[in-house]
Copies of this chain bind each other. A is one copy, B any other.
Amino acid sequence: MLWEIDFGDTCGPNFHGRTFMDSKEIRDQVVEHLRKKGLRVTKERTAIIEAAFGSSRHFTAEELLEEARKLVPSVSRATVYRTLPLLLETGLLHRLDLDRGERYYDPNYATHPEHNHLICLDCNKIFEFEDNHLEARENEITRALGFAPATKHVRIEATCQRLRELGFCQNRG
Protein backbone atom coordinates (compact mmCIF):
# COMPACT_ATOMS: atom_id res chain seq x y z
CA MET A 1 0.00 0.00 0.00
CA LEU A 2 2.91 2.20 -0.70
CA TRP A 3 3.51 3.88 -3.96
CA GLU A 4 5.41 6.70 -5.41
CA ILE A 5 4.03 9.74 -7.10
CA ASP A 6 6.43 11.61 -9.27
CA PHE A 7 5.79 15.29 -9.60
CA GLY A 8 6.48 17.24 -12.72
CA ASP A 9 9.09 19.92 -13.05
CA THR A 10 7.84 21.90 -10.12
CA CYS A 11 5.03 20.27 -8.25
CA GLY A 12 2.90 18.26 -10.61
CA PRO A 13 2.31 14.74 -9.37
CA ASN A 14 0.77 11.72 -10.95
CA PHE A 15 -0.19 8.65 -9.03
CA HIS A 16 1.40 5.66 -10.75
CA GLY A 17 -0.99 3.07 -12.08
CA ARG A 18 -4.01 5.11 -11.12
CA THR A 19 -6.55 7.02 -13.06
CA PHE A 20 -7.12 10.51 -11.84
CA MET A 21 -10.69 10.80 -10.57
CA ASP A 22 -12.99 12.45 -13.08
CA SER A 23 -12.68 16.14 -12.52
CA LYS A 24 -16.40 16.61 -13.14
CA GLU A 25 -17.24 14.29 -10.27
CA ILE A 26 -15.09 16.36 -7.93
CA ARG A 27 -16.57 19.59 -9.16
CA ASP A 28 -20.04 18.25 -8.45
CA GLN A 29 -19.03 17.50 -4.88
CA VAL A 30 -17.78 21.05 -4.41
CA VAL A 31 -20.87 22.56 -6.01
CA GLU A 32 -22.97 20.43 -3.68
CA HIS A 33 -21.02 21.86 -0.78
CA LEU A 34 -21.79 25.40 -1.92
CA ARG A 35 -25.48 24.60 -2.32
CA LYS A 36 -25.63 23.09 1.18
CA LYS A 37 -24.21 26.33 2.55
CA GLY A 38 -26.76 28.33 0.58
CA LEU A 39 -24.04 29.92 -1.51
CA ARG A 40 -24.37 30.81 -5.16
CA VAL A 41 -22.74 28.85 -7.94
CA THR A 42 -21.33 31.67 -10.01
CA LYS A 43 -19.35 31.35 -13.21
CA GLU A 44 -16.30 32.68 -11.37
CA ARG A 45 -16.51 30.03 -8.68
CA THR A 46 -17.12 27.37 -11.29
CA ALA A 47 -14.00 28.45 -13.17
CA ILE A 48 -11.92 28.40 -10.00
CA ILE A 49 -13.18 24.94 -9.04
CA GLU A 50 -12.46 23.68 -12.54
CA ALA A 51 -8.98 25.17 -12.47
CA ALA A 52 -8.20 23.79 -9.02
CA PHE A 53 -9.26 20.21 -9.68
CA GLY A 54 -8.62 20.06 -13.41
CA SER A 55 -5.14 18.65 -12.88
CA SER A 56 -3.32 16.88 -10.07
CA ARG A 57 -0.68 19.58 -9.86
CA HIS A 58 -0.03 21.58 -6.73
CA PHE A 59 -0.57 25.29 -7.17
CA THR A 60 -0.31 28.69 -5.54
CA ALA A 61 -3.15 31.19 -5.31
CA GLU A 62 -1.54 33.15 -8.12
CA GLU A 63 -1.30 30.09 -10.36
CA LEU A 64 -4.91 29.25 -9.63
CA LEU A 65 -5.90 32.77 -10.68
CA GLU A 66 -3.97 32.41 -13.91
CA GLU A 67 -5.55 29.04 -14.65
CA ALA A 68 -9.08 30.18 -13.79
CA ARG A 69 -8.68 33.18 -16.06
CA LYS A 70 -8.07 30.84 -18.99
CA LEU A 71 -11.64 29.71 -18.44
CA VAL A 72 -13.22 33.00 -17.35
CA PRO A 73 -10.87 35.91 -18.07
CA SER A 74 -12.63 38.32 -15.73
CA VAL A 75 -11.94 36.26 -12.57
CA SER A 76 -10.23 38.46 -10.01
CA ARG A 77 -7.56 37.76 -7.45
CA ALA A 78 -9.98 38.70 -4.68
CA THR A 79 -12.47 36.07 -5.77
CA VAL A 80 -9.75 33.43 -5.85
CA TYR A 81 -8.78 34.29 -2.29
CA ARG A 82 -12.42 34.35 -1.22
CA THR A 83 -13.12 31.00 -2.87
CA LEU A 84 -10.08 29.07 -1.61
CA PRO A 85 -11.43 28.71 1.96
CA LEU A 86 -14.63 27.23 0.53
CA LEU A 87 -12.63 24.60 -1.30
CA LEU A 88 -10.56 23.80 1.78
CA GLU A 89 -13.77 23.28 3.75
CA THR A 90 -14.73 20.40 1.50
CA GLY A 91 -11.57 18.52 2.48
CA LEU A 92 -10.91 17.84 -1.22
CA LEU A 93 -8.24 20.51 -1.28
CA HIS A 94 -5.54 20.95 1.35
CA ARG A 95 -3.10 23.71 2.00
CA LEU A 96 0.44 22.36 1.98
CA ASP A 97 3.04 23.21 4.55
CA LEU A 98 6.03 23.43 2.27
CA ASP A 99 8.28 25.95 3.89
CA ARG A 100 8.70 27.87 0.68
CA GLY A 101 7.68 31.50 0.51
CA GLU A 102 4.18 31.10 -0.85
CA ARG A 103 1.48 28.68 0.13
CA TYR A 104 0.77 25.69 -2.06
CA TYR A 105 -2.51 23.90 -2.49
CA ASP A 106 -2.89 20.17 -3.13
CA PRO A 107 -6.03 18.99 -4.99
CA ASN A 108 -5.25 15.28 -4.65
CA TYR A 109 -7.21 14.67 -1.48
CA ALA A 110 -10.26 13.89 -3.58
CA THR A 111 -8.56 10.82 -4.99
CA HIS A 112 -6.18 10.06 -2.09
CA PRO A 113 -7.66 11.37 1.15
CA GLU A 114 -4.83 10.12 3.36
CA HIS A 115 -1.71 10.79 1.37
CA ASN A 116 1.55 12.20 2.67
CA HIS A 117 4.49 14.10 1.23
CA LEU A 118 8.16 13.46 0.75
CA ILE A 119 10.23 16.45 -0.30
CA CYS A 120 13.60 15.86 -1.91
CA LEU A 121 16.11 18.39 -0.59
CA ASP A 122 18.37 17.78 -3.58
CA CYS A 123 16.00 18.26 -6.48
CA ASN A 124 13.24 20.04 -4.57
CA LYS A 125 10.65 17.72 -6.05
CA ILE A 126 7.69 16.51 -4.06
CA PHE A 127 6.51 12.91 -3.95
CA GLU A 128 3.21 11.68 -2.57
CA PHE A 129 2.71 8.37 -0.84
CA GLU A 130 0.18 6.44 1.22
CA ASP A 131 0.87 3.78 3.80
CA ASN A 132 -1.57 1.72 5.83
CA HIS A 133 0.91 0.95 8.60
CA LEU A 134 1.64 4.59 9.16
CA GLU A 135 -2.02 5.44 9.13
CA ALA A 136 -2.92 2.69 11.59
CA ARG A 137 -0.21 3.76 13.99
CA GLU A 138 -1.30 7.39 13.79
CA ASN A 139 -4.80 6.33 14.74
CA GLU A 140 -3.55 4.21 17.64
CA ILE A 141 -1.52 7.07 19.04
CA THR A 142 -4.32 9.55 18.65
CA ARG A 143 -6.77 7.32 20.50
CA ALA A 144 -4.21 6.50 23.17
CA LEU A 145 -3.96 10.21 23.85
CA GLY A 146 -7.74 10.46 24.21
CA PHE A 147 -8.57 12.01 20.85
CA ALA A 148 -10.40 11.08 17.70
CA PRO A 149 -8.27 11.66 14.60
CA ALA A 150 -9.49 14.24 12.08
CA THR A 151 -6.62 15.08 9.75
CA LYS A 152 -3.26 13.34 9.63
CA HIS A 153 -0.23 14.32 7.66
CA VAL A 154 3.32 13.08 7.42
CA ARG A 155 5.95 15.25 5.88
CA ILE A 156 9.36 13.81 5.20
CA GLU A 157 12.31 15.80 3.97
CA ALA A 158 14.93 13.55 2.48
CA THR A 159 17.96 13.42 0.23
CA CYS A 160 18.45 11.28 -2.86
CA GLN A 161 20.52 8.23 -1.94
CA ARG A 162 21.67 8.11 -5.51
CA LEU A 163 22.99 11.66 -5.41
CA ARG A 164 25.23 10.73 -2.52
CA GLU A 165 26.32 7.41 -4.00
CA LEU A 166 26.73 8.33 -7.65
CA GLY A 167 27.11 12.07 -7.48
CA PHE A 168 23.96 12.93 -9.32
CA CYS A 169 20.24 13.06 -8.60
CA GLN A 170 18.06 11.03 -10.93
CA ASN A 171 15.15 13.36 -10.24
CA ARG A 172 16.98 16.47 -11.26
CA GLY A 173 16.24 18.09 -14.61
How far is B150's CA from A118's CA once the two chains are assembled, in angstroms?
10
For the complex, give the distance between the alpha carbons of A164 and B6 in Å. Answer: 40
- Residues on B with C-beta less than 8 A from A97 are 97, 99, 155
For A2, what are the chain B residues with a Cβ–Cβ distance below 8 Å? 141, 144
Chain A interface size, as a band, is: 35 or more
Residues of B within 8 A of A120 (CB): 147
Q: Which one of A20-28, A66-74, A129-137 contacts B?
A: A129-137
> What is the count of identical protomers in the complex?
2
Chain A 150-164 per-residue mask, 1 if CB under 8 angstroms from chain B, else 0: 111111111111101
8 contacts between A and B (CB under 8 A): A2-B144, A121-B150, A142-B156, A143-B161, A148-B158, A148-B159, A149-B158, A152-B157
Measuring CB to CB, which residues of chain A are less than 8 angstroms from any residue of chain B?
2, 4, 95, 97, 99, 118, 120-121, 127, 129, 131, 133-134, 137-138, 141-162, 164
